[in-house]
Amino acid sequence: MPNKNGSVYGLTILSPIINDDKATPSHDLQIRDYLAKLSTREDSPFAVAPGTHLARLVVLDDVIYVGMPACEEHLKSKYLIFESNCDGDLDGYLHGLADAIADHLDAIWKHCVGYPGAANRQAFVDYMKACQLNTTFYFAAVNDKSVEDTLRALQTQTAVADFIATHQGNDPATLQREFIQFATELRARPIPRPGSMGSLRDIKTGGHNE
């Protein structure tokens, strides 16, 4: 099954949410409430844990009825969808999540049926795999670079533009000397933290022209 494209893994997880009429607020609302307060910047759980390019969490309320003559049907459970585009293999990624952000995972998935908690690593990995859907077709525009590779490259792109702009017309010896220094400094520069290159979270609903 094509869960992988190059070195990137396309993880799709569908976890049934506990359906408990006595829960107040209901479990799906508690998940949404937690997610609404979660940072999307460098202190995001997915920035703290290694290897996530892009990820989303979505509560699927129900399937959608498209109208007659199709049949109307409904799900018996709501589902939490976790869609992630990550580096490496699945086991390594799941262990990385459990090691780095167990509290967040527990806070979100404790509302899902049968979630064993992240403390029991093997049970956690087995649970996630039990909820995994195989991807039928997976596309990745850049499929051979890690998150760190991309963050470093974006930093380099900006730095090179600045270097070229400020070194026009230099004589060859000066240009070579300063380039060597520039390249050395750039290599030593820390990689930007994942999620740190964005603006503060501005909630947008995704209107058609946003």
Partner 1 sequence: MQSRHLPASGKACLVFLAVERDMAALRSGSKPRITAFFCPAATVCDIICSLPSSSLQNAILSSRPGWGSFFPDVRGAMSNINGKVYAMNAITPMKPWKTWIVRGILFLLGHFKSLRQDVVDLSFIEFARWVVLPRRGFPFLGNGQERENLQYDYLLFFSNFNGTWNQYIDAFSAVLSKGLNLIWRWSEKFPGSVPVTNFKQYIALLQFDTDYYYSAYPNAAANDIESAHIVQSSLDQLAAMAERSSPQQFADAYLRFVLEVQCHLGATGDAPVAG
Amino acid found at 192: P
* Segment contacting partner 1 by CB under 8 A, of 53-61, 93-101, 118-126: 53-61
Measured from the CB atom, the residue of 100 and 151 that comes closer to partner 1 is: 151
When binding is defined by CB under 8 A, the residue of 24, 169, 188, 190 that contacts partner 1 is: 24
Are residues 16 and 79 in contact, defined by beta-carbon separation less than 8 angstroms?
yes
Token pair listed for 72: 């109307």
When binding is defined by CB under 8 A, the residue of 43, 65, 126, 189 that contacts partner 1 is: 65
Q: Provide the minimum distance between the beta carbon of 89 and partner 1 in the complex, in angstroms, as a whole number.
A: 17
Each residue 95-134 as x (binds partner 1 by CB under 8 A) or -, in order, gives: ------------------xx---------------xx-xx
Residues 6+ apart with CB under 8 A from 189: 155, 159
Q: Provide the minimum distance between the beta carbon of 185 and partner 1 in the complex, in angstroms, as a whole number.
A: 11
* Segment contacting partner 1 by CB under 8 A, of 55-63, 89-97, 117-125: 55-63
Burial of residue 155 (CB within 10 Å: 0-12, 13-18, 19+) is middle
Start-to-end CA span in the chain (Å): 35
Measured from the CB atom, the residue of 119 and 133 that comes closer to partner 1 is: 133
Interface with partner 1 includes 7 (CB under 8 A)?
no
Quick one: angle between helices 172-188 and 147-166, nearest 10? 150
